[in-house]
């Protein structure tokens, strides 16, 4: 029984390795914009306290959603 388990595990491992994974057209490190990241950080810091349920937290959630939608995520 143990031999069957090992063969099954090996088959799963090989199968998982053969599944094609999408390759982004632009590498993430090439697409990173440090100036924009700094601007987002300054904007979020300007919201003040961001504990869950606070207005600052909701604004932070909103900006994250906007950025993800803009970038196609």
Distances, alpha carbon 56 to alpha carbons 2, 22, 39, 45, 51, in Å: 55, 36, 16, 9, 7
DSSP string, 6-73: HHHHHHHHHHHHHS-----SS-HHHH--HHHHHHHHHHHHTT----TTSHHHHHHHHHHHHHHHHTT-
pTM exceeds 0.75 for this model = no
Residue-range definition of the domain harbouring residue 39? 23-73
Kindly indicate the confidence band of residue 70, based on its pLDDT and cuts at 50, 70 and 90.
confident
What share of the chain in percent tops pLDDT 70? 67
Instruction: Give the count of domains, the chain.
Output: 1
Residue 67 belongs to a domain:
yes
If one compares 33 and 59, the residue with the highest pLDDT of the two is 59
pLDDT digits (tens, 9 = 90+) for 8-38: 777 766 666 666 766 666 666 677 889 999 9
- How high is the pLDDT of residue 9? 75
Nearest to 47 by CA among 59, 62, 63: 59
Residue 51 belongs to a domain:
yes
Residue 64 belongs to a domain:
yes
Residue 8 belongs to a domain:
no
């Amino acid at each position: 029984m143990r031999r069957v388990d090992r063969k099954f595990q090996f088959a799963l491992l090989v199968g998982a390795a053969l599944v094609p994974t999408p390759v982004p057209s632009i590498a993430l490190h090439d697409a990173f914009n440090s100036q924009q990241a700094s601007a987002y950080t300054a904007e979020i810091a300007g919201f003040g306290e961001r504990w869950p349920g606070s207005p600052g937290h909701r604004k932070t959630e909103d900006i994250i959603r906007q950025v993800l939608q803009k970038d196609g995520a």
